[in-house]
Structure 1
Amino acid sequence: MNTPKETADSLLQESLLQRLNDRTAVIGVIGLGYVGLPLSVEKAKAGYHVIGFDVQAGKIDMVNAGYNYIGDVVDEDLRLMVESGRLRATADYAFLREVDAVAICVPTPLDLYRQPDTSYVENSVREIAKELHPGMLVVLESTTYPGTTEELIRPILEATGLVCGRDFFLAYSPERVDPGNKSYNTKNTPKVVGGITPACSQIAAALYRQVLEGEVKVVSSPAVAEMEKIYENTFRHINIALANEMALLCSRMNIDVWEVIEAAGTKPYGFMAFYPGPGLGGHCIPVDPFYLTWKAKEYNYHTRLIELAGEINNAMPEFVVQRIGDVLNEHRKAVSGSTVYLLGAAYKKDIDDYRESPVLKMIELLESKGAKVIISDTHIRSIRHRQREYACEEMTPQLLASADIAVITTDHSGFDYELIAKESRILFDTRGALRSRKGLKPEAYYLL
């Protein structure tokens, strides 16, 4: 027979499950960026009342005005959720006392020594701890090293006197966001959930099943879910490095690496195409694998393959600038004094995010060699790097014709490639953007 305490604990769990299933629960989301805002909108669309928390007043004002600033969110969806009263934003963490479940979607960058900076997560958890109450669910979504949920978050929350798995519920469910992806978004991407206890997993999975269309995969622990996320991004990190290394070698051997990959892609099994480029960007692929290299040292293990891949990928902007110099030299021009026109600032096509973009490093290197740099981007008006603002110019025939060399650094769908091919004196394509566009290759056309 259950004791009165065990019965009360069971009632807490059943009560929260009931509120999640009938969608009367209030949901909190901490961090209203590329992960948090889409998640907030989807939870509101599912019928929950959602409170978004952020420290940036500008984001709070925009959300409460129904103004969208994230490409993967439909403008009308956000506006309707705000107008219906299902979604609101605040900087006041005292409102956490009103929520039944809260997701943490804050940045997890690396510091200057390439070690995890968990300060945003820790600050969020300490705010939650102030308002933690019996029957509350806490889910971390930020990408981090295996052990964060159990070793960092749980002790802070249990310092309140409440016990995880009995009084409150704690789980990890890694965000899966691919900005610009036309097929998969927050709503239909499968979700992984790992709770501290089976009850934690059950409750967290119940929430996501009410919100998402994709499968919700429950794993045995938060550490498995944390490692799974790192493995996803490390897989891409290493395979992109392989493609980049092939590009370096093929350049020396005068072999078209794009044709090599295209030919390899005809194999119907055992091969997945990854492509070279000017370097990695974004918050995930250049950063996340190094959470694992840092954690591995605790176990006296050196992740050689991950670190080597990082060296290769990090060297690509320098290689691109070197190739720009070689191409200009073929045309009896020096980098110093030349105008280099960079077509694209975002780290990948059809998005407005330039975090960690390889273009930033290229700008530094080119300017250090005396080049004048012009930038155009169909999604970005300006970029800020090292206390300097760079305007993204509107691409015109005059700008293209006046530049000594144009470089396709981001293959945005919105670029007029016919105009680029027609007006560029010299065109260097780091993305293979013109390979599939027949008849558009100018005479002075160079591939990475």
Structure 2
Amino acid sequence: MNEQAAQAETTQVQHPLNVAIIGGAGHVGLPFGLALCDCGHTVTLVDLNQSQLDIIRAGQMPFSEINADQLLPRALETGRLHCSTDFADLSTQDVIIVTIGTPVDEYLDPSLRAFDQVMEEVFQHTRPGQLLIIRSTVFPGVTERLGRLIAERNLQIDVSYCPERIAQGRALLELTQLPQLVSGCTEQACQRAADFFSDFGQEIIELSTVEAELGKLFTNSYRYINFSISNQFYMLAQRYDADFDRIYHAITYRYPRMNGFARAGFAGGPCLLKDTMQLASFNHNLLTLGQTAMAVNEGLPGFIVERLKKDHDLTGLTVEILGMAFKGNCDDPRSSLSYKLRKVLTLECRRVLCTDPFINSPDFVSLETILDESDILILGACHDDYRGVQTTKPLIDVFGFTARQEP
């Protein structure tokens, strides 16, 4: 067993539980379910995405996740993993875990309608004594509101909020490495959630529900704002025709006070912008740092194209984007700024080509075609396949990835 697999191994629980995960076929729910199966619980993935569940039943992962290809077949063979589209299966469970996405609306305010609809369905199939754990990112105050609704209906279930903080693609590793934030609408709910997560051998940190909700939002908002600082500095360096990567190395080298300085690059994905906007909405849109960060990060693709136009007549050129996922070595295109870059380039260039080794799309071409037919290359995602790529054509690498030494 390799080191990563050993890190993901968990101990067998003494008192196995029946656990349902709503949104269980997704990037948060499925790895969590596999980890729970691996330590002895029986898990039912409840999800309305029938095609995704069919893939899982066949023993195939619908997306990339370290160690999941080994754990999924094992969970199915032991009979601990089940799939369902029927919320009625919730009534037989000891623990119900909610991992559905919580989007923002067209005004970038939290949209609670989908969450409320799911919870109404859950309420129809609960029984007294169950533990309900919310792992979705929610607007501050949602958990206490949920607790009041459950008390008013006398459902007699314990409600806790325990946010996930894993990096997509590394969930099975980090579930056994990172401390778990735990909260509950009552002391009993908090203690039950703490006992449940202790099976992973994690350190448990207890908070109030609103502290846990804000803790998750603070985490993603901090990262998003931090990326925007680096991206703003990158833009400033470009305006002075200075090499941002040389500056980055110089000011971070053996200088601990700059350890938190992120590299420049696209800050996309399904969480960072959304959660920053949720935090801004909670503060009546007074989180000006978050709104400024959005302007910087979302403006980076346009800035890149404007800089290219200074030195090239793009109207007759073919420009290629290397990597369309929202981050490196990932197969998830959700909210990837590479697509925004493609849209801007389409208005300016003769032709735009895209490639990605992790994403299948009829619109994409091979790396060989890219290197042969493009006039300019732009790095969109830091996939290992692109490390040290050899080309004599201009390569725009905001991340400083292609010239970086492999760790």
Query: Normalized against structure 2, the TM-score is what?
Result: 0.91
Per the alignment, in what secondary structure is the counterpart of residue 386 of structure 2? coil
Residue among 415, 436, 441 paired with 2:386: 415
Partner of 1:6: none
Q: 1:280 to 1:268 in 2, by over 3 A?
A: closer
Kept in 2, the 8 Å contact 1:42–1:187? The answer is no
Are residues 1:102 and 2:127 paired? no
TM-superposition CA deviations, 1:163-221 (whole Å, max 9, x none): xxxx32101011112124499433322210111111110001111111x23322111x1
Residue in 1 that maps onto 2:5: none
1:214 partnered with 2:193: no
* Alignment partner, residue 129 of structure 1: 123
* Counterpart residue type for residue 173 of structure 1: C
Find the counterpart in structure 2 of residue 320 from structure 1.
304
Alignment of 1:196-211 (within 5 A): 196-210=185-199
3-state SS of paired residue (1:102) = strand
The secondary structure found in structure 2 opposite 1:406 is: strand
Q: Which runs of 4+ in 1 moved over 4 A?
A: 181-184
Flag the 1:270–1:369 CA change in 2: closer, same or farther, 3 A.
Answer: closer
The answer to whether the Cα contact below 8 Å between 2:34 and 2:68 also exists between their aligned partners in 1 is: no
Alignment partner of 2:34 out of 35, 41, 51: 41
Rg larger in 1 or in 2?
Answer: 1
| CA RMSD across the alignment | 2.0
C-alpha distance 416-104 of structure 1, shift in aligned 2 (>3 A): same
Determine if contact 1:180/1:349 at 8 Å carries over to the other structure: no
Q: Is this contact kept in 2: 1:296–1:302, CA < 8 A?
A: yes
| 2:292 maps to which of 308, 324, 342 | 308
- Post-superposition Cα deviations, 1:11-47, rounded to whole Å, max 9, x if no partner, equal xxxxxxxxx9633321110012110000001111110
Shift in alpha-carbon separation, 1:59–1:182, aligned structure 2, 3 A: closer
CA distance in structure 2 between the aligned counterparts of 1:289 and 1:274, rounded to whole angstroms: 17
1:416 Cα deviation after fit: 6.0
| Counterpart-to-counterpart distance in 2, 1:88 and 1:183 | 19
Distance change in 2, residues 1:434/1:63 (3 Å): closer
Query: Does structure 2 retain, via aligned residues, the 8 Å contact 1:30–1:36?
Result: yes
What CA distance in whole angstroms lies between the structure 1 residues aligned with 2:375 and 2:16? 62
Supply the distance in 2 between the matched residues of 1:203 and 1:281 (Cα, whole angstroms).
35
Q: Tell me how far 1:148 sits from its aligned partner.
A: 1.0
Instruction: Give, in whole Å, the separation in 1 of the partners of 2:376 and 2:171.
Output: 32
Matched with 1:286 is: 273
Aligned pairs, number? 392
* Other-structure match for 1:54: 47
Q: Which amino acid aligns with 2:283?
A: A
Aligned ranges for residues 64-143 of structure 1 at < 5 Å? 64-72=57-65, 73-143=67-137
Q: 1:126–1:156: 8 Å Cα contact kept in structure 2?
A: no
Partner of 1:275: 263
**Bigger RCO (CA 8 Å, 6+ sep):** 2
Distance 1:285 1:205 in 2: 26
User: Does the Cα contact within 8 Å between 2:68 and 2:172 map onto a contact in 1?
Assistant: no
Counterpart pick for 2:402 among 426, 434, 437: 434
Q: What does residue 141 of structure 2 align with?
A: 147
Partner SS, residue 202 of structure 1? helix
**Structure 1 residue 258: Cα displacement:** 1.5
When residues 229 and 126 of structure 1 are mapped into structure 2, their CA distance, relative to the original with a 3 A threshold, is same
Alpha carbons of structure 1 residues 156 and 66: separation in structure 2 relative to 1, 3 Å: farther
Counterpart in the other structure of 1:335: 314
Match of residue 177, structure 1, among 152, 166, 176: 166
Alpha-carbon distance in 2 for matches of 1:256, 1:169: 55
Tell me which amino acid in the other structure corresponds to 2:395: L
Instruction: Please give the TM-score of this superposition, normalised by the length of structure 1.
Output: 0.83
Q: Does 1:359 pair with 2:338?
A: yes
Q: Tell me the residue number matched to 2:355.
A: 376
CA contact (8 A) 1:40 1:50 kept: yes
Aligned to 1:425: 393
Q: Which one-letter code corresponds to 1:410 in the other structure?
A: A
Gaps spanning 5+ residues in structure 1: where? 1-19, 383-389, 439-448
Q: Matched residues in 2 for 1:188 and 1:406: separation?
A: 38
Q: Deviations over 1:89-132 (max 9, x none)?
A: 10000000010111100011111111112233212211221112
One of 26, 38, 41 as aligned partner of 2:18: 26
**What is the CA–CA distance in structure 2 between the aligned matches of 1:215 and 1:350, rounded to whole Å?**
29
Supply the AA of the counterpart residue of 1:247: Y
Structure 1: distance between partners of 2:154 and 2:382: 53
Q: Which residue in the other structure is 1:3 paired with?
A: none
Instruction: Please report how far the alpha carbon of residue 142 of structure 1 lies from its aligned counterpart in structure 2 after TM superposition.
Output: 0.7
Partner SS for 2:83: strand
1:17 corresponds to which residue?
none
Indicate how the Cα distance of structure 1 residues 159 and 64 shifts in structure 2: closer, same or farther if over 3 A, else same.
farther
One-letter identity of the residue aligned with 1:268: P
SS for the counterpart of 1:341 is: strand
Give yes or no for contact 1:376–1:392 (8 Å, CA) kept in 2. yes
Q: Hey, what does 1:391 align to over in structure 2?
A: 363
